[in-house]
Chain A
Amino acid sequence: MPAVDPASPSAANSGTANSGTANSGAAAGPARDTPAARKAVLAAAEIRRALTRIAHEILERTDGAAGVVLLGIPTRGVPLARRLADRIEQVEGQPVPYGSLDVTMYRDDLRLRPARALGRTDVPAAGIDGAVVVLVDDVLYSGRTVRAALDALHDLGRPRAVQLAVLIDRGHRELPVRADYVGKNLPTSKQEVVRVLLTEVDGEDAVVLSRAAPAATASTGSGA
């Protein structure tokens, strides 16, 4: 049963879908000689500062992180949630529960790609009922991952409120979703790929902007 959901626009959040307009746009667009030009947008120190600021914003917005549960969205949201929890604990002296929320089974683009491996869902033992859940992800793009995360949360319990923290907001929303905490707003074109690299997963901290390679760019960190 192919194309059950033709209404869903291209699987834009992987950077794989180069539509026809995208190709013609690339021809007319600004001259870039190297197709895979890699530009570092954030260095390790800037990521560190952004996370520290987000941690303080969470503390302000939630009255000292009372009742807050940080849930990272795999892959790279999970170490980010852990780092935010560490920072909040350093400031307040109180540990903040954190975990991970895998949204793979709730995605609306499952049928567009081969079945993929699942990440781990690890909710703190106290659960999320009545908590202020802060979803943490690396890049906010179409908003579809966040939509899936809201569905996944719904099956786990009933939080008092849900907020969203992202390291990068690159625009191009396809759903009415916005972030409560943003590390950096990064205006991008749809032909570009944003990759967040984190020491825990990639061995280094950086945010890298590159042109979409014409071949399969199955970069996991590019979409949210």
Chain B
Amino acid sequence: MNRHLISAADLTRDDALLILDTADELARVSDRPIKKLPTLRGRTVVNLFFEDSTRTRISFEAAAKRLSADVINFSAKGSSVAKGESLKDTALTLEAMGADAVVIRHSASGAPARLAGWVRGTVVNAGDGSHEHPTQALLDAFTIRRKFGRSAGPGPGRGGSAPGGALDGLRVTIVGDVLHSRVARSNVLLLHTLGAEVTLVAPPTLLPVAVGAWPATVSYDLDSALPKTDVVMMLRVQQERMNAAYFPSVREYSRRYGLDGARMAQLPEQAIVMHPGPVNRGVEIAAEVADSARSTIVEQVANGVSVRMAVLYLLLGGAEAQS
């Protein structure tokens, strides 16, 4: 595995499966009375958040703390960034403080890749602009694997466990604002690596220019895609990144690309509904769908901690990788 986790494309199939299998074991720690492992004792993880985030920051913080790392939270508000400090100077400050890992969220695509060249520690991308959000893709893959019974289970292998499987043959439909979505890009890359067939459904205005080069098929019609899907992943309409009119009205978008109860009924019986959050109820997903038994939204958050523990352990737990 690489020393950093910047893009889902950095992960080979074996890397991804190792992370998911490790997360399967670490998820069991969450069921114990003492939800803590001593593995990263004495190591420092800095959460460097230049952009607002609830679940990702809390999730990384919980993951690092469960591995006994020291966590320093940094948010741009109330820091020297507000006084005009550059990313590089912030990075050098972290370096001087001896951060072993930096978890960075930034509104600029590519900021984590730049940071990786400036610090000695490990850099984990927690979302950069509309580029990537690899740990979200990992937790989504983890959730899908669990829901379709492909997780690591009891078996004759190491420690009486059988490694989990990939997602070969599963049909995943990602719906909505693909253009602004780092979650979509990371998911397409990772799900493809893991063997899933990915379909993107969005209005033409909300698809990136180079989408033809992505390992996914593209459709503009949600109703025809739904009956042939095992997993439907709804994306948030990112109004804050929209500086132009990408669709005539929120209501029209919702009618054509929103998932309501009637559309959910078209899904095959075993299909699940995912959403990376935060949810715009009534825009991309109806409240009744978000709260239905098929929805994995809350589970995704819980799985996020296990997956991020696995990532931090695999990147920080062993000897420093020669890179």
Report the bound CA distance from A121 to B152 in whole Å: 12
* B318 and A118 form a contact (CB under 8 A): no
* A43 within 8 A of partner (CB): no
The interface centre, meaning the residue of A106, A120, A200 with most chain B CB atoms within 10 A of its CB, is: A120
Pair A111/B160 contact, Cβ less than 8 Å: no
**How near does chain A come to B317, taking the closest CB pair, in angstroms?**
4
Q: Is the interface of B mostly helix, strand, loop or mixed?
A: loop
Chain B residues within an 8 Å CB radius of A169: none
Q: Mark B16-35, 1 if CB is under 8 A from A, else 0.
A: 00100110011010001110
Q: B28, A121: Cβ atoms under 8 Å?
A: yes
The answer to whether A118 touches B38, judged by C-beta atoms less than 8 angstroms apart, is: no
Contact with B along A98-113 (1 / 0, CB 8 A): 0010100110001111
Q: Are A119 and B38 in contact (CB under 8 A)?
A: no
B83 to chain A, nearest CB (A): 30
Q: Which residues in chain A, 59-80, are within 8 Å of chain B measured between CB atoms? A: 72, 74-75, 78-79
Q: A75 with B317: in contact, given A105-B38, A155-B34 (CB under 8 Å)?
A: no
CB neighbours (8 Å) of B42 from chain A are 4
- B62 to chain A: which residues have CB within 8 Å? none
Total count of chain A residues near the partner, CB < 8 A: 31
- B160 contacts A118, C-beta separation under 8 Å: no
Q: Distance in Å from the Cβ of A130 to the closest Cβ of chain B?
A: 15
Select which of A79, A100, A105 is within 8 A of B313 by beta carbon: A105
Among B34, B36, B318, point to the contact of A114 (Cβ < 8 A): B318
In the assembly, what is the distance between CA of A110 and CA of B28, in Å?
A: 20
- State A100–B316 Cα separation when bound (angstroms): 25
B313/A115 in contact, CB under 8 A: yes
| In contact, A74 and B160 (Cβ under 8 angstroms) | yes
B242 at the interface (CB under 8 A from A): no
Quick one: CB contact mask for A15-57 with B, threshold 8 Å, 1 for yes? 0000000000000000000000000000000000000000000
Query: Could you tell me if A122 and B319 are in contact, using CB atoms closer than 8 angstroms?
Result: no
| Known contacts A75-B158, A105-B313, A117 near B22 by CB under 8 Å | yes
Chain B residues lying within 8 Å of A110, measured Cβ to Cβ, are 39, 317-318
Query: B121 CB to closest chain A CB, in angstroms?
Result: 9
Q: Give per-residue flags for B96-114: 1 if the beta carbon is below 8 A from chain A beta carbons, else 0.
A: 0010100000000000000
Complex interface: chain B residues within 8 A of A118 (CB): 21-22, 25-26, 159
For A72-98 the 0/1 string (1 means CB < 8 A from B) is: 101100110000000000000000000
Q: Are A116 and B159 in contact (CB under 8 A)?
A: no
- A117 contacts B158, CB within 8 Å? yes
Chain B positions near chain A (C-beta within 8 angstroms): 18, 21-22, 25-26, 28, 32-34, 36-39, 42-43, 67, 98, 100, 152, 154, 156-161, 313-321
Q: Nearest 4 A-B pairs (CB), nearest first? A: A119-B159, A74-B159, A115-B318, A120-B161
Residues of A participating in the B interface, judged by any CB pair closer than 8 Å: 1-2, 4, 72, 74-75, 78-79, 100, 102, 105-106, 110-122, 151, 155-157, 200-201
Q: A1-B100, A117-B18 are in contact. List 9 more A-B contacts (CB 8 A).
A: A1-B43, A105-B37, A106-B37, A115-B315, A116-B318, A118-B22, A120-B159, A155-B32, A155-B36
